[in-house]
Amino acid sequence: MGLSNRDDIERGIKKLFRPGDVVELRMPKAGANKTISGYFNDFTKLADAVAYWSVAAPNIYWTLNPVNPDLLARASYATVG
């Protein structure tokens, strides 16, 4: 995915969510056919993860409703690195 596409992803995220919102990234039927998910309150990191994982997981999406901030403590398999 090119840099301009990654930048478009981040712009879209920032239009949909407010600073401080926690967003869930989901990839159904990934990782031995299990759903992989991660939770983000840093939109730059979320955009990086979407750009990175969308190559390997074409079923990737983020939830449209912000989730409970307590979920940040759960596993964040979707993070890049």
Q: What is the pLDDT of residues 28-68, one digit of tens each?
A: 888 677 888 899 999 999 999 999 888 877 789 999 999 99
Backbone angle region of 21, left / alpha / beta, with phi > 0 → left and psi within -120 to 50 → alpha? beta
Residue 65: the pLDDT is: 92
Domain ranges of the chain: 3-73
Distance CA(52)–CA(9), nearest Å, equals 11
pTM greater than 0.75 (yes/no): yes
